[in-house]
Amino acid sequence: MSLIVQKFGGSSVRDAERIRNVARIIAETYLKGNDVMVVLSAQGDTTDDLIAKAEEINRHPSKREMDMLLATGEQISVALCAMALEAMGLPCVSLTAWQVGIHSTTQHGDARIKLIDPDRIRMELDSHRIVIVTGFQGVDKRGDVTTLGRGGSDTSAVALAAAFRADLCQIFTDVDGVYTTDPRLVPNARKLEEITYDEMLELASQGAQVLHNRSVELAKKFRVNLEVLSSLERKPGTKVKEVTKVEKTNIAGVAKDTSIARVALVGLEHTPGIAFQIFDLLSRHNINVDVILQSIGREDSKDITFTIHRKDLDETLDLLNDNKATLHFDHIESDDHIGKVSIVGAGFMSNCGIASRMFEALYEAGINIQMINTSEIRISVLLNEEDVNRAVKAIHAKFFD
């Protein structure tokens, strides 16, 4: 007998028919003699609809009340799923994060799970009930409901799997696994049988929208056996694990992100402490910086260019301009139509030809690279936003055709 966590995303529970389908998958797993813990997202577009409802009432609601509202979506799903299982004669119980005791930080809208009380769930599993838990939510030290950030149900599922040392955590979605790139853009993208945590983490944070990246971080930290698979078709998905079977000869995938802005501070003084001042200012305002490039100083001035999320551009420009007197730059240049294309693969370190093949693909497609950034298992290029899709196709063809 194993303990299996099964998480179903919004599209997998969007209506009565899909909920019955999910209940059948759960029932099958349970009737094989497993303990089953289920984690659900809100149905379909419920979370977006709730946000729209809030906006009709108040354009700037407090984050606490927003969480109070958004957490209701998942509560609907778990109750309906429990009813579907009841109708099949199966013992089950639905629980909110508050009832379980999924303790989180207070940061409404972006809370982190700190600790999960094992008692209630343990008791239910010991009585052979299927336990159905709301994803995406927690409860803070005051007892207030929090949410974990958009897409956070994956993280709830992995956190529960880690806390109960589950044998397997299955993430069911409407795609049947992790692909070498977005199959809607590149029809011959291939499904990966398996991928390492690190590769998945890089892909998730570089814009591949299969898994919430914090869920992958947690899975890696606690060695949770993860599998991404379809709730609509019964076939094997993609396994996410520590090491993959064979020595890798190719990259795992190509990801894109088109929500980027680039900022350049031109004519900075070439003295110690300038970079510190700039990035300290941004970090104090919770602005995440991704790629940073500093030009070689010429005479006594230098330029620093960096990228941020597009939503932070206005605030960043205001902050920098407000501090022009202390930062001593000549002027700012910015562009909010930047995209990033990345390739990810665990075998990079030992294969120097990979980068040149990527650049060759871009050269052949006539695409200009603005900035380049690498990690041990990733190479990213920053491009004009309009070149992104073409770049993904060209690079994917180079490595996989």
Residues that bind ligand ASP (CB under 6 A): 9-10, 41-42, 47, 73, 135-136, 150-153
Q: Three-state SS for 77?
A: helix
| Closest residue to bound ligand ASP by CB | 153
| DSSP-derived secondary structure for 314-383 | HHHHHHHHHTHHHH--SEEEEEEEEEEEEEE-TTGGG-THHHHHHHHHHHHTTPPP-EEEEETTEEEEEE
Sign of CA dihedral 109, 201, 9, 142: negative
Which CB sits closer to ligand ASP, 30 or 136?
Answer: 136
CA 175 to chain centre: 15
Residue 135 touches which of Mg ion, ligand ASP, none (CB < 5 to 8 A by kind)? Answer: ligand ASP
Q: What gap in Å lies between CA 269 and CA 293, rounded to an integer?
A: 15
- With beta carbons less than 8 A apart as the criterion, state whether 207 and 255 touch: yes
Which CB sits closer to Mg ion, 41 or 213?
Answer: 41
Which CB sits closer to ligand ASP, 9 or 177?
Answer: 9
Question: What track of x and - describes contact with Mg ion for positions 285 through 324 (by CB under 5 A)?
Answer: ----------------------------------------
Which CB sits closer to Mg ion, 51 or 369?
Answer: 51
The answer to whether residue 173 forms part of the interface with Mg ion (CB under 5 A) is no
The terminus-to-terminus CA distance of the chain in angstroms comes to 43
Q: What gap in Å lies between CA 371 and CA 261, rounded to an integer?
A: 12
* Least spacing, CB of residue 67 vs ligand ASP, in Å: 11
The answer to whether residue 10 forms part of the interface with Mg ion (CB under 5 A) is yes
* Least spacing, CB of residue 78 vs ligand ASP, in Å: 12
Q: Parallel, antiparallel, or unpaired for β 226-230 and 168-173?
A: parallel
| Closest residue to bound Mg ion by CB | 10
- With beta carbons less than 8 A apart as the criterion, state whether 155 and 5 touch: no
* Least spacing, CB of residue 116 vs ligand ASP, in Å: 17
Question: What track of x and - describes contact with Mg ion for positions 16 through 55 (by CB under 5 A)?
Answer: -------------------------x--------------
| DSSP-derived secondary structure for 309-327 | EGGGHHHHHHHHHHTHHHH
Residue 138 touches which of Mg ion, ligand ASP, none (CB < 5 to 8 A by kind)? Answer: none
Instruction: List contacts with Mg ion (CB under 5 A).
Output: 10, 41
